[in-house]
Each structure stands twice: as C-alpha cells, then as structure tokens.
Amino acid sequence: MKITVHNSEGGVGKMPISANIAIDKGFMIATNEHTSIYEYILSDDEFVEIDMNEDFPDFDEMNVVFDLAGSINKNSQSIKSAISMSDVVIVPISCELKSMLSGSNTIQEIKNINSEIDILVVTTKRQKQREDVFLDNWDQSKEFIEIRSYIESALPGSVNHYLPLKALKAFDNIFEKTKHPTINKI
C-alpha cells in the first residue's frame, strides 16, 4: 500500500497524519521535506528523504507513506512520482479559507496527475463550536460540513471520501513514546 499525504498549504496536519499512519501500521515514511522531524522519531531505515526535484525510488511491494511538502510545478518531480505510485492521497484541510482554497487547488493538481486516484479529505483541527449540537459524530460538526460543502461545490465528484479528525495531542505523544536516542537526550 502506498499513501500520499499532501496539501500545498502548510500547517494543516500532514506530518502528524503521516507519522501516525507510519508508526501505527509499520509503514516506511518517504518525504521531500528536509526540515522534517522523522530523524528524531524513526530509525534511518524507516524513512527516506529526497530533494523536491527528484523522483522517489520504486519501493516495490513496501508499504510507504509519502509526506509531501510544496506545490506541484515543473520542479516538483518528487510530488508527481509519489502521486503516480500511490493507491490513495490524503488531503488534510482545516476550516480556514486559505486552507480550503489550497486544498481544492491541490486536489485539482492531484487529479491532473492521476485522474483515477482515490482522494480522502481529512478535515483537521476540529474543535467543537458553540453552535455545534452533536455528541461524538464529528461529521456533524459545523467545520466538517463547511469544508465538505466547499470542496464538493468547487470540485464536484473529485473526492471519494471525507473524514473528520478532531484536534488531538496524539502527535505530541509520539515523542513521549519514542525510544530514539536523540529524543532521550533532550
């Protein structure tokens, strides 16, 4: 299985989603971001880091999560190669106008590379709003409905699945649970 996590907008939760999938499922991480924290939470054989303008290697039958930074342009060969290899692309989007605009542009760029790929929009940073009236069904939250409506009106039929992700401290907990020697020295 090959999963890409991408949105050209920063700060939407790509790295926490990628890291949690990789650690939980035992997948390798492949990234084009040189300022990643993977060297602190994974061993050298659990992640691959390349430049933006390089192709990712063929991972054959390995399970990989591609955690991608940057926009798709003529120099973003890493993003294009990851999307071409992937079974699904996760596009994290928060309920901010710039994130929704960037997310819809990212989805369109992904579809231009691979029109048949499954896309999962993960609505990130969900917190219950005053006007929200629901118990635990986060797909009934105001922010989830707003993001889904925006993407469906901007790109009808482009997204296969939507998933609400409420705000959690799970990513911070990775550091507490890791046994990486560099973390233990901090």
What are the boundaries of each domain within the chain? 2-178
Mean pLDDT of the chain: 84
DSSP letter at 44 equals G
pLDDT digit string (tens) for 66-109?
999 988 888 889 999 999 999 999 999 988 889 999 999 999 99
pLDDT at 57 over 90: yes
pLDDT bin (cut points 50, 70, 90) of residue 59 is very high
Say what the pTM is: 0.84
Q: Which ranges of the chain does DSSP label H, i.e. alpha helix?
A: 14-25, 38-41, 77-85, 97-113, 142-154, 170-177, 181-185
- For residue 79, the model assigns a pLDDT of 95
Which amino acid type is present at position 44? D
Task: Give the tokens for residue 29.
Answer: 């991480």
> Which among 136, 29, 176, 6 is positioned nearest to 83, based on CA atoms?
6
Q: Band the pLDDT of 10: cuts 50, 70, 90.
A: confident
Q: Which fold has domain 2-178?
A: Rossmann fold (3.40.50)
Measure the CA dihedral 20/24/25/31, to 10°: 30
End-to-end CA distance of the chain: 34
Give the model's confidence band at 185: pLDDT under 50 very low, under 70 low, under 90 confident, else very high.
very low
Amino acid identity of residue 20, one-letter, is N
Tokens of 89: 């692309």
Confidence (pLDDT) at 163 = 85
Kindly provide the b/e burial profile for residues 62-95, where b requires at least 16 CB atoms within 10 angstroms of the residue's own CB: eebbbbbbebbeeebbbbbbbbebbeebbbbbbb
